[in-house]
A = this chain, B = another copy of it.
């Protein structure tokens, strides 16, 4: 069986979404990539989490063709593939319809950085893509979804803001590993929820001062980080 370890990481990250209450029924999907092998491991489409095993994880190439596995991959696979091709530092991707992050996506609004919880993980607002055109929807819809995210990140670092909202749809999150991608999906939902409460408390709430955004992001990330026990997350 190809990529046994990556399959296990992908399965575990998918189950983390279940444990954290981010997915309903078969919603959501996490994948991982082996850039060396140019292969992706992704959750199968519409299969219950309760019985999912490493051998159910589908292995595809970077054109989205199944290389190993009896099941169909998640229908969002072409979105994942575009992100892997565009962002070489990404090792895992998590897609959920978690409720508050999805509400921001449905409102077509980026999530402003209102506090240090956000700044600890996302260096700046979490952006939202523009709506796709009817042509982009009609042909290669899922691939075009990925391209829309990539275009949105022109001039931005995917490592500094490891998530995007797709307009009218839901978030995609990523990280160096499948576990990190799922972790960011959980944090994003908490951040989206607190941002929702914040603007309901104060319609024109100010975003966090830039110096404080930098401080919190950099005390957890990069070479001067001093949060945690010294290992990278």
Chain A residues close to B by CB (< 8 Å): 24-27, 44-47, 71-72, 75, 97, 99-100, 102-109, 114-117, 131-132, 134, 137-138, 141, 168-170, 183, 186-187, 190, 193-202, 205-206, 208-209, 211-212, 215, 219, 226-230, 233
The answer to whether A212 and B168 touch (CB under 8 A), given A114-B106, A205-B107, is yes
Is there an interface contact between B103 and A190, defined as CB atoms closer than 8 Å? no
Is there an interface contact between A202 and B108, defined as CB atoms closer than 8 Å? yes
Is there an interface contact between B116 and A170, defined as CB atoms closer than 8 Å? yes
Which residue of B is nearest A183, CB measured? B25
| Distance, CA A102 to CA B215, complexed state (A) | 18
A226: B residues at CB distance < 8 A: 72, 75
The answer to whether A197 and B196 touch (CB under 8 A), given A108-B206, A209-B131, A215-B141, is yes
| Distance, CA A216 to CA B169, complexed state (A) | 10
Is there an interface contact between A228 and B45, defined as CB atoms closer than 8 Å? yes
A198: B residues at CB distance < 8 A: 103, 106-107
**Interface pairs A-B: 10 shortest CB-CB:** A46-B228, A103-B197, A107-B201, A107-B202, A106-B115, A106-B114, A106-B198, A134-B211, A116-B169, A137-B211
The answer to whether A168 and B107 touch (CB under 8 A), given A190-B24, A197-B100, A215-B141, is no
